[in-house]
């Protein structure tokens, strides 16, 4: 039975900006018809998108979390079919003991499979195998006219390509069938390498791409911009001992911290300590997959550290050609601005083409910055947007609450073609903003 919740507070996005009023309807069963409402509908997973792509101001969200059943899991082939509200966390609990791992995972396991498809999420292995959509075999979409559409690369291929990375606008994804990857145990062999600057990052990336499945770098934007820690890892292939099972997160941020908590000074101090956390230039370890893939999940509600005004994430992708210069310019601007990004992540994306018309991933270099939201940050981000646009790059809608409409259309030239597949009853705060005249 569909329930309508008047409360809106728990349905903010992860960045807690913008804050909007919306009606929330839950969808727990696949045979429920879509609700008949005034205004538009938008599916909603776990709200781990940072900006307004998971918000529908003045309209209705359909919360899919109750659709959390595994429909089929073939332990011989690793093919899974599950409802779209299943989370990666739930899937991992089931699949890891059976020797299977999600083909692609973002930096948190608290996302739904529907959300992973709708943003065509990427992980530390993009250079090796592409994004989540590359592993989707088939999915079922429910449209507001009551039709059910099974889509795959062969069946309704245009609707399939529009739905992967389709920002929840083509209908409700009820279930997804996708291919998992085999693992021997739950451990990751990881090397952490201290790097002095961007030249080392680019050298380490190209040197590591062939032999390491997972690559990512953490960058300091305050102390000595570009220095950081480069991490490269592979699933451990020894048949035997798995690392001890990591516990559930224990700590939570109980209230909004004051702005001073994440000042340039505190972030600079943290960065310096983090950079020097290991004595040697290269540290090798075999670790459980949870701290390797999901270090932030250890602190529940960490988004509250950024204070009551919320946080802005900004993630760009610039092509390889001219990309290193653009990344240097962006870090230079960020350094000069006096604004400090707490978590700055840099990685390369590979050449496996994304299946989605609106997918973010492309070959190039991606950089993610995050800031407590304030006016001076907006001024900085406007300058950074311009550098990205001039470099022929793009910004990631899942992380966005502010990109100008003109840039969106430049970054995603297939947006008009995509519009033809949007369900006429579906919309989002993000879509109205970036397509406004
Ligand atoms: C700490 C952290 C780390 C992250 N790291 C990465 C990363 O490394 N790579 C990356 O790509 N992203 C990353 N993200 C972003 C996150 O992976 C995406 O925003 C993801 O889509 C969130 O999934 P969700 O279930 O929370 O969906 P929501 O945020 O609730 O929704 C996301 C989109 O999916 C649509 N949607 C949800 N369910 C359905 C459905 N059943 N049918 C149709 N559409 C649906 C919504 O309408 C919306 O457009 C990160 C986020 C956090 C908080």
Residue 246: CATH number of its domain: 3.40.462.10
Residues 253 and 299 in one domain: yes
Q: Which atom of ligand 1 is nearest to the CA of 141?
A: 42
Residues 241 and 362 in one domain: yes
Ligand 1 midpoint to CA 281 (Å): 35
389 three-state secondary structure:
helix
pLDDT at 88: 98
Closest Cα to atom 19, ligand 1: which residue?
A: 49
Domain that holds residue 97: 70-183
Residues 113 and 176 in one domain: yes
- Asked if residues 102 and 186 have their Cβ atoms less than 8 Å apart, the reply is no
The answer as to whether 31 is a domain residue is no
Ligand 1 midpoint to CA 55 (Å): 12
Token pair of 107 as six digits: 């930096």
- Asked if residues 102 and 290 have their Cβ atoms less than 8 Å apart, the reply is no
The answer as to whether 302 is a domain residue is yes
pTM for the structure as a whole: 0.95
The answer on pLDDT for 322 being more than 60 is yes
Strand partners, 74: 79
Residues 207 and 355 in one domain: yes
Last residue of a domain, one of 183, 215, 233: 183
Domain count, the chain: 2
Q: Which atom of ligand 1 is nearest to the CA of 360?
A: 11
271 lines ligand 1 (CB under 6 A): no
Ligand 1 midpoint to CA 106 (Å): 9
Give the mean model confidence (pLDDT) for residues 398-415: 98
pLDDT digits (tens, 9 = 90+) for 367-384: 999 999 988 899 999 999
- Asked if residues 334 and 221 have their Cβ atoms less than 8 Å apart, the reply is yes
The answer on pLDDT for 405 being more than 90 is yes
240 pLDDT tier (thresholds 50, 70, 90): low
54 lines ligand 1 (CB under 6 A): yes
226 pLDDT tier (thresholds 50, 70, 90): confident
pLDDT digits (tens, 9 = 90+) for 66-89: 999 999 999 999 999 999 999 999
pLDDT digits (tens, 9 = 90+) for 274-288: 767 777 899 999 999
114 lines ligand 1 (CB under 6 A): yes
The answer as to whether 82 is a domain residue is yes
172 lines ligand 1 (CB under 6 A): yes
Residues 218 and 166 in one domain: no
339 lines ligand 1 (CB under 6 A): no
The answer as to whether 244 is a domain residue is yes
Last residue of a domain, one of 134, 154, 183: 183
pLDDT at 272: 72
Give the mean model confidence (pLDDT) for residues 229-242: 85
Q: How many CA atoms lie within 13 A of 101 on its CB side?
A: 20
The answer on pLDDT for 111 being more than 80 is yes
Residues 86 and 205 in one domain: no
Last residue of a domain, one of 132, 150, 183: 183
| Of 90, 45, 89, nearest in space to 64 by CA | 45
313 lines ligand 1 (CB under 6 A): no
The answer as to whether 87 is a domain residue is yes
Closest Cα to atom 53, ligand 1: which residue?
A: 48
Pocket test for ligand 1, best of 106, 131, 171, 349 (most atoms within 8 A of CB): 106
| Of 13, 8, 84, 53, nearest in space to 306 by CA | 13
- Asked if residues 108 and 125 have their Cβ atoms less than 8 Å apart, the reply is no
């Amino acid at each position: 039975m569909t329930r309508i919740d008047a409360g809106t507070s728990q349905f903010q996005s992860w960045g807690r900006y913008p804050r909007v009023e919306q009606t929330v309807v839950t969808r727990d069963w696949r045979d429920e018809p879509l609700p008949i409402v005034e205004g538009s509908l938008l599916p909603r997973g776990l709200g781990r998108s940072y900006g307004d792509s998971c918000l529908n101001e003045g309209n209705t969200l359909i919360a899919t979390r109750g659709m959390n059943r595994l429909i089929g899991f073939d332990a011989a082939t690793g093919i899974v079919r599950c409802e779209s509200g299943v989370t990666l966390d739930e899937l991992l609990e089931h699949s890891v003991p059976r020797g299977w791992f999600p083909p692609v995972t973002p930096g948190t396991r608290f996302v739904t499979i529907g959300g992973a498809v709708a943003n065509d999420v990427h992980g530390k292995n993009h250079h090796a195998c592409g994004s989540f959509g590359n592993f989707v075999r088939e999915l079922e979409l429910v449209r507001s006219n009551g039709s059910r559409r099974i889509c795959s690369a062969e069946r309704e291929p245009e609707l399939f390509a529009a739905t992967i990375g389709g920002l929840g606008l083509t209908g409700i994804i009820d279930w997804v069938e996708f291919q998992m990857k085999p693992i021997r145990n739950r451990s990751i062999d990881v090397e952490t390498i201290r790097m002095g600057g961007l030249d080392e990052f680019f050298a380490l990336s190209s040197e590591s791409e062939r032999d390491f499945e997972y690559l990512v770098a953490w960058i300091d934007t305050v102390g000595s911009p570009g220095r950081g820690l480069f991490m490269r890892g592979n699933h451990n292939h020894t048949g035997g001992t798995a690392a001890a099972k990591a516990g559930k997160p224990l700590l939570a941020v109980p209230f909004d911290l004051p702005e001073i908590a994440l000042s340039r000074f505190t972030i600079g101090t943290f960065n310096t300590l983090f950079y020097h956390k290991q004595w040697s230039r290269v540290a090798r370890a075999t670790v459980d997959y949870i701290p390797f893939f999901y270090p932030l999940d250890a602190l529940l509600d960490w988004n509250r550290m950024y204070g009551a005004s919320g946080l802005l994430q900004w993630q760009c992708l610039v092509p390889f050609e001219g990309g290193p210069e653009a990344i240097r310019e962006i870090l230079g601007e960020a350094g000069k601005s006096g604004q400090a990004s707490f978590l700055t992540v840099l990685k390369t994306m590979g050449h496996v083409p994304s299946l989605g018309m609106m997918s973010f991933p492309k070959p190039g270099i991606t950089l993610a910055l995050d800031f407590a939201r304030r006016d001076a940050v907006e001024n900085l981000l406007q300058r950074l947007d311009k550098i990205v646009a001039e470099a022929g790059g793009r910004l990631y809608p899942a992380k966005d609450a502010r990109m100008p409409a003109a840039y969106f259309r430049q970054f995603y030239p297939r947006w008009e073609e995509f519009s033809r597949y949007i369900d006429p009853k579906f919309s989002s705060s993000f879509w109205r903003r970036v397509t406004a005249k």
